[in-house]
Every structure is written in C-alpha cells, then in structure tokens.
Structure 1
Amino acid sequence: MIGLAHAVLNAFVEAGSNFIDTADLYSVWGEGHEGGESEKISVNGSPLATTATRSSSRPKLGGLPTRPGLSADNVEATLDESLKRLQTDYVDPYYAHYDDENVAIIGQLKHANSLVESGKVKHIALSNFDPARMLEWFETAKAKGPTLPVAIQPHYNLIHRADFENAYKAIVDEFDVAAFPYFALASGLLTGKYRSKEDIQGKARQGFAEDLITDDALKVVEAVVEIAEARGVEPATVQLAWLLADGKAVTAPAASASTSDQLPTLMADR
C-alpha cells in the first residue's frame, strides 16, 4: 500500500501539483486501521512524497472517533498528533473537519486564534459546517478577528449542487474565501465507471457511492459520458472542468486517485 501511495504522490508532485488532502480520520474505516494512516503513509519512506506532504498537506482534524469535537483540549491534542504523523512543526491551513455544536462559534474562534498565535497553524479553514454556522463563523471572525478562515471544503459536484449553489457560494463571494470541493467525482460515479446500481456492488467505493446512485444521478452520468465521448476526453475531466468553469467560485476540486495512471485524466488541461 505504501509503495502504491508513494507512486501516486510522486507522480502528482512531478506533474507540478502541490495540494495534498489528508485527515486524522483517514482511513479509520479500513480493517485494522485506527485513523491517521493517510498522514503516516504520506511521509513514510519516499523523499519526494515526504517533502511534498510536509509543505503541501492540508490536514482536517476533529472527525476521528477517538478524538471527536472541537473543544480546546481536543483540538490541541489532535493537532499535535497530526503534526507528529506528518513529521512537521506546522500546517497551512488547518481544517476543522466537522462542526461541534457543543462549542460556541466564539469559542471555536478563540481556539483557532490561539493555534495561529502558537505558530503550529498558519491559517484556518472549515469543512462540513452547515451554512448558518459557517456564516456565523465568518461574521464573528470578521468582527472580532484576527483569524478569518481562508478556505472552505464543501460537498459539490454535478449530482450534488444545491447546497453549494444556494448557500456556500454566497459565503465564498462575500468573504473572498477559497473553495476546495470534496467528492468532486461523486466517489467515482462521475468517472463513468458505474453506470448502474449493480456496477457498484462489491467495489471498494460501495459504501460511499451506493446512496448516490439514483435514477436522476445516472442520467447525469450518461450526459457527462456523452459529452466526454464527443470531446475525446474522459468523463472525470469533464466533471472537473465544469467545477472550474467561470462563475462556479471553485478554487480547486479535491479528487482521489488510486493509481498514478489515473492522474493524467484528473490533471488534463481544461
């Protein structure tokens, strides 16, 4: 597994890219895993992968079942553990992976300020906050400062559009914040390799993708495949180009690759 991960990372860096998405939660769902594997693997053994990950990792914290929530003590502990796994003394940015409604936004802001002041975190970013709480975070940070989030990570793709377009985009526009959508390829559905509900059965992504495979979603997939065939590109390239089209307010999508052979499709000129 480590060798394959390094092959992907090395090819990714050699192609000129510099954004690696990790989380303490990844990959706790795997048999025998406890979380933090993506951070450990990223810096374990390959000089190129190690250098890239230390300078380019965007870790998300607070979602690990053994370290849940955004209390001050938990945030400090999870950050120190991730820094140790990543073999670095700071990250830029640090993402709050999930909101913690037991911690008031003003409390979260104070914790974030202290992390930045410590030098362990250069900037703050947010993921998986509902729009109202996220807006409160930004408004409170703007009024009380000094730590205003620099990025958000919403769920956004051709199948899952309403949340971003009806709520999060307004935050991006108002506060001039970067947006790095996750599930950019809908857990592989928008690559065109799953064309029916039966296609996902027994596959590694079944747990993520099977709930997405509705009749309407499959119609979207067929349309993407049709456009890709007409243009002589892969469906994934069409989906990523759509996310980056003018007016979408997307800085860059987060897309997964399991082999280095998949990278040219994900990084094709748009």
Structure 2
Amino acid sequence: MRQLSLGKSGPQVSALCLGCLNFGTKTDKSLSYQLLDQYVEAGGNFLDTSNNYAFWNGAGVGGQSETLLGEWMKEKGNRDRIFLATKVGANPTIPGGGFPAKEGLSKKAIHKAVDESLKRLQTDYIDLYYAHIDDMDVPLEETLDAFNQLVQSGKVRTIGCSNHYTWRLEEARSISQSRGFASYQCIQQRYTYLRPRPGADFDVQISVSEEMLKYIETHEEIALLAYSPLLSGAYSRQDRPIPVQYAGLDAEKRIAVLQEISKETGATHNQVILAWMLSNSPVALPLIAASSTEQLQENLHALDVTLTQEQIKRLNEATY
C-alpha cells in the first residue's frame, strides 16, 4: 500500500487508515479480525481507535475497540508493524453520561487515560495520541505539558488533535514552540466531498473549514486526516440519504459532478472521493471504515484510481 508522511517530516503511514470505531461492539470479534487481517494483507499498517469507542453502541462503555486491537496484535505478534493511533478526552467519566461527562484534557485525565489505553492495547507505547475533543475549560498549556511528558517518557511517539478549530491549533503550536514542548503533527476532522450547509451542527464533531484547508496548505508540517469521508454509505446506498447537514443545491451539483467522474474513471463514488482526497491540495488522509470485507475491498481499490488534474479541478469547482 502507498505510504505517506504525517506532515512534511513525520512518520510514514499507509495512505488509507483503518478506522476501528465499531470493533468490539457493533462489529463483532470475528468480523473485526477478518477486516484487520484483510487490511494488513493489503499492506496497511495505520489503525485508528479511541479510549471511548464505542460507548454509544449497545452495551458499549468505551475501551472495547482498544481491547480488541490489543488482543488481535498479541495473537498476530505484529505490534512492531502497526502504526497505532488512539485518543483521549471524550470518554465519559459517568456511565451513561455521554459527551457532557467527558474526561477532558487535564493533566490528571491524560495521564490516567494513557495508562489505561496502554493496558487495553497490550503495548508499552502509542504511535499517535490525539486530543480527541477540545477542552476549553483546561489551560491549553496544561494539556500540551501533559502530552509532552508522555512523549518524553516514551509512552507516546507523536501527538495530534481532533475536533479543534484552526485558531486553537495555531495557538497550541505557538505554545509548544515557545515552551519547547512536543507539537501537534496532525489534525483529524470531519471531512468529505460534500460541504456542510452554513450553520450545520455536528455536536462535538468539527468539520474541516475553508480556513483550515488554507492553513494546512500553507503549513506542510501539519497533516490533515479525514473521518467520515464517505458519510456512512450515503454516496452509494439508496437507504442512506445525504445527512441534513449537507443536503441542498450545492450538494446536488457536487453529486452530479461526482457521478460524471465516476463514469469517466469506471470507479465507484466512494473510490472517487477517496482518490480525490489523496490527490487534492492539501492532501487529506482518509479514515476508512467497513462493516464487510466487500466494503473494505472497495475502499482499498481507491488507491488504484488515478484522477487527472482536470477532473480534480471539476470536483473542486462544482458549486451551485
């Protein structure tokens, strides 16, 4: 599988990251193992999880995804060949409390969470550790100091953030530079081909803004990762309508162009979107998820799709 660097000089990772959100809850152990094996056999090495996955799924309480990954890596003996990402900050401290009861990003919460994640993952280090949801109740310097301590101790190798606004990312990088702390090397945001409607509400999730895209484009040391790139099947399934946050005339125009490019390339809508993310400027490394081996195979074949500059331009400029 093609490799990309996380930022200008960051570690090398697979161009498609496997999102493991539902593993151990909605996706049972057997299928989770099949998908993990299939991804690795295709040359993938980049796995994404979180300490709160997936407390909202049935009997989920958080930690099930990490636990399953730890068991799988131990069984396969492949920890040294996996680039493992997990997150802190959004796990509820009260059962049933949901995001309002999230642990947050205090120094105490971060140190407690990382040790619990390491235990579940059955490893002594995490390749990439994210601040999952911004916590404006805690001084940013405290959060960054805690992350820096984890890097210095060897428990964490690279740090990033998720669901942060551009100005908060810039503020964090400025503090890290002035204090000599480890700095965020990537940001993971909600991002897809369709653009959210003005004022669209995604609760705790933050969608990539035009400002963020410009910022990443001019700061090559920061990598952009995209979660929910395929809108849970909305581009390909009749039973999955376009989410209301994206619906409208702009979406209709962009979908029409997407259909044109799909016919020209012989690729599915999903494959075109993933190829667009990897070919566009700035590059967005997609997190792919699947509930079947067929879905995963379709996503993996996006790496075989080559878009021309003219096609990329048409996709970018499609608007109402």
TM range (shorter): 0.7 to 0.9
Q: Distance in 1 between matches of 2:174 and 2:128?
A: 19
Q: Distance in 1 between matches of 2:76 and 2:82?
A: 10
Match of 1:266 in 2: 299
Q: Distance in 2 between matches of 1:90 and 1:54?
A: 13
Match of 1:206 in 2: none
Compute the TM-score of the two structures, normalised by the length of structure 2. Answer: 0.73
Match of 1:135 in 2: 170
Q: Mark the CA change 1:55 to 1:45 in structure 2 (over 3 Å): closer, same or farther.
A: closer
- For 1:75-224, what aligned pairs fall within 5 Å after superposition? 75-160=110-195, 163-171=208-216, 173-174=218-219, 176-190=221-235, 192-194=236-238, 199-200=239-240, 210-212=243-245, 214-216=247-249, 217-224=251-258
Match of 2:67 in 1: 40
Question: Does structure 2 retain, via aligned residues, the 8 Å contact 1:135–1:171?
Answer: no
Q: Distance in 2 between matches of 1:160 and 1:247?
A: 16
Q: Mark the CA change 1:86 to 1:61 in structure 2 (over 3 Å): closer, same or farther.
A: same
2:52 to 25, 33, 45: 25
Q: Distance in 2 between matches of 1:260 and 1:49?
A: 19
Match of 1:204 in 2: none
How far residue 34 of structure 1 moved from its aligned partner, in angstroms, is 0.3
Match of 1:255 in 2: 288
Q: Distance in 2 between matches of 1:31 and 1:22?
A: 18
Per-residue CA deviation, residues 152-180 of structure 1 (Å, 9 max, x unaligned), is 11222111378343225414532511111
Q: Which runs of 5+ in 2 are unaligned?
A: 1-27, 94-101, 197-206, 306-320
Higher helix share: 1
SS of alignment partner, residue 180 of structure 1 = strand
How far residue 101 of structure 1 moved from its aligned partner, in angstroms, is 0.4
Per-residue CA deviation, residues 142-201 of structure 1 (Å, 9 max, x unaligned), is 2222311111112221113783432254145325111111111122223x214xxxx238
Q: Distance in 2 between matches of 1:52 and 1:221?
A: 40
SS of alignment partner, residue 181 of structure 1 = strand
Q: Mark the CA change 1:64 to 1:160 in structure 2 (over 3 Å): closer, same or farther.
A: farther
Q: Distance in 2 between matches of 1:246 and 1:6?
A: 32
Question: Does structure 1 retain, via aligned residues, the 8 Å contact 2:132–2:161?
Answer: yes
Question: Does structure 2 retain, via aligned residues, the 8 Å contact 1:13–1:52?
Answer: no
How far residue 53 of structure 1 moved from its aligned partner, in angstroms, is 8.8
How far residue 222 of structure 1 moved from its aligned partner, in angstroms, is 4.3
Q: Distance in 2 between matches of 1:104 and 1:168?
A: 26
Compute the TM-score of the two structures, normalised by the length of structure 1. Answer: 0.86
Q: Distance in 2 between matches of 1:50 and 1:172?
A: 38
Q: Distance in 1 between matches of 2:182 and 2:73?
A: 34
Question: Does structure 2 retain, via aligned residues, the 8 Å contact 1:228–1:234?
Answer: yes
Higher strand share: 2
2:236 is the counterpart of 1:236: no
Deviates more, 1:219-228 or 1:45-54: 45-54
2:91 to 55, 64, 79: 64
Q: Mark the CA change 1:261 to 1:46 in structure 2 (over 3 Å): closer, same or farther.
A: farther
Q: Distance in 2 between matches of 1:128 and 1:160?
A: 17
Q: Distance in 1 between matches of 2:29 and 2:128?
A: 25
Q: Distance in 2 between matches of 1:50 and 1:28?
A: 28
